[in-house]
Amino acid sequence: MKVTEQMIEAAEAMVARERDCSIALIQAELAAEGEDVCVECDEPISAARKAALPSAERCIDCQKHYERTMRVA
Ligand SMILES: [Zn+2]
């Protein structure tokens, strides 16, 4: 079988797609295992906040808002 330029391009495109896919996968895994992302706004929770309160699920802004709404309710 003769390797044509189109085949090479197709193969390169496939590799590029797979690379994008694995990057997305790695990012998803990091997000899932780290869980250092605010459940409200998806912003990262600061390391200092995590250190002070490892169970923190919200960033400081959302936590303030959450506590305010809890107090009102
Ligand atoms: Zn937040």
- Looking at the structure, do residues 14 and 43 belong to the same domain, yes or no? no
For residues 58 and 39, the answer to whether their CB atoms sit within 8 Å is yes
Enclosing domain of residue 57: 35-73
64 C-alpha to ligand 1 centroid (Å): 9
- Looking at the structure, do residues 4 and 15 belong to the same domain, yes or no? yes
- Looking at the structure, do residues 25 and 45 belong to the same domain, yes or no? no
8 C-alpha to ligand 1 centroid (Å): 46
pLDDT of residue 50: 86
Residues in the chain, overall count: 73
- Looking at the structure, do residues 43 and 68 belong to the same domain, yes or no? yes
- Looking at the structure, do residues 22 and 12 belong to the same domain, yes or no? yes
- Looking at the structure, do residues 68 and 42 belong to the same domain, yes or no? yes
66 C-alpha to ligand 1 centroid (Å): 10
State the residue for tokens 């790695």.
26
Q: Encode pLDDT of 1-34 as tens digits.
A: 788 999 999 999 999 999 888 888 877 776 665 5
16 C-alpha to ligand 1 centroid (Å): 34
